[in-house]
Amino acid sequence: MKKLAVKKPNIKESIKKGIQLEDAIKHPVFCFKYLHKNYHIDKCDVNEKVSFLSTIVKLSTITWQDIEFSGRHGAGSEKIPRNAINIELPKEISDDVPFFLALRFCGMKPFVGYRNRFIFHVLYIDRDLSLYKH
């Protein structure tokens, strides 16, 4: 099977277009490549899907610093130790990820993943609060 070629962003071109590197890394970018099949967006009902998308859009407009200083049950995040997760971690997650972050959508429902620089890798959408002890 042929792999798709992904064009790497040209930093100089982005700067010419008015996108500063500092601005690009301040805001979260969301990745769903490793989303667990049992904690997937497909398991959510329509209201949860709308809330999740709305939350992603809102979080994309604020900085990581804003997220870090917000309350953990608001726009903020909460650290979840690796060993608190009730299911097997994806094999792609290396041991150098010491904890995960839980962000909230649809009230108090968390979606859980990890941050790698400005990218937040969403691993679990915990709509039924079964992923870890709350």
Q: What is the pLDDT of residues 11-57, one digit of tens each?
A: 555 455 555 555 556 889 999 999 999 999 999 999 999 999 999 99
Residue 6 is predicted with a pLDDT of 43
CA distance 67 to 103: 9
State the DSSP H helix or E strand holding residue 65, giving kind and residue range, or none if neither. helix 64-69
Is pLDDT of 4 > 50?
Answer: no
Looking at per-residue pLDDT, the higher value among 2 and 71 belongs to: 71
Q: What single-letter amino acid sits at 55?
A: T
Nearest to 122 by CA among 131, 130, 111: 111
Residue 104 pLDDT grade (very low, low, confident, very high; cuts 50, 70, 90) = very high
Is pLDDT of 7 > 60?
Answer: no
